[in-house]
A = this chain, B = another copy of it.
Amino acid sequence: MITTKNLLQDIPADLKNEVFEIIAASESVKVERIISKGQVSSEWYDQDQHEWVLVLQGSGELLFADGTSVRLGAGDYLNIPAHCKHKVSWTPPDEVTIWLAIFYS
């Protein structure tokens, strides 16, 4: 039985904390929807897997350990190699940002 869902719908009412939801997963890949509203990362992400990340709605800024940062809007994506330290340095506090992240080996 094939069921569809929508990444832009079913947004939790309580967004005091970022919301992480696993959308699909296997041994080698994890697809996650992340919903932010003003949050930033408290520490660096240093991941064993590569991360491909897309902004579906809203916007956000990523900061890398070398000091560079990128601002992403709807449709923007990038690939973050494994162990490339990064953090979310800004998301707008007055709008909902929806990310799609693929963690893969």
Question: With A31-B52, A70-B2 as given contacts, are A23 and B104 in contact (CB-CB < 8 Å)?
Answer: no
How many residues from A make CB contacts under 8 Å with B? 37
Comparing A6-14, A40-48, A89-97, the segment that makes contact with chain B is A6-14
- Report the bound CA distance from A57 to B64 in whole Å: 30
B residues less than 8 Å from A102 (CB atoms): 24, 29, 31, 102
- Candidate in A2, A68, A76 with the most chain B CB atoms within 10 angstroms: A2
| Interface check A17, CB cutoff 8 A | no
Q: Which among B2, B54, B64 is the interface contact of A7 at CB below 8 angstroms?
A: B54
The majority secondary structure among interface residues of chain A is strand
A76 touches B28 (CB 8 A): no
A80 touches B2 (CB 8 A): yes
| Interface check A15, CB cutoff 8 A | no
B residues less than 8 Å from A28 (CB atoms): 28-29, 104-105
B104 touches A3 (CB 8 A): no
Question: With A2-B68, A75-B8 as given contacts, are A105 and B31 in contact (CB-CB < 8 Å)?
Answer: no
